[in-house]
Amino acid sequence: MTRKQKRLAIIGGGVGFLTAAVLLVMFAFSQAVAYFYVPGDLEKTSVAPGTRIRLGGLVEVGSVKRGEGKTVTFSVTDTLASVPVTYTGILPDLFREGQGVVAEGAFVAGGSVFVADTVLAKHDETYMPKDVADRLQAQGVTLGGKENIK
């Protein structure tokens, strides 16, 4: 092999390695993506059953019902629409009605009930995930006693 052939082989191998690495990273990201929705978005958008998403909003007042064992059902609302959620597990200590929440999971085959495997609640009076707060304020919901001025 001449010097030129060796150099070309090394460059070709490097390009092949980088291409394989980029493809693996892209594949991993496509598998781990969970899109964020508020209940009002779900009325306009069709989400296939089994597709992992994050559902954010406020826990609807009067909707929390404890079932057998650690199963809890509640509704997430953005004051325009509401989505029923079922969760089996231990809820965060700060989970309560009227507070911000993000649930991650998927819709069941019927498409009417969201089954969450992770529930995150806000951790103090002033915090709400930015995506949830922005979407709620865009729909005119008052957060933290401040009026949304457009």
Tell me which residue has tokens 């594949």: 27
Could you give the count of Cα atoms lying within 13 Å of 110 in the half-sphere of its Cβ? Answer: 5
Helix or strand or coil: residue 51? coil
Contact present, 58 and 95 (Cβ < 8 Å): no
Residue whose token pair is 């092949």: 16
Q: What is the DSSP letter of 145?
A: T
87 is in an annotated binding site: no
On whether 35 is known to bind a ligand per the annotation, the reply is no
Taking each continuous run of H as one helix and of E as one strand, the counts in the chain are: 3, 7
Residues marked as binding for heme? 123, 127
Annotated binding residues, written as ranges, equal 123, 127
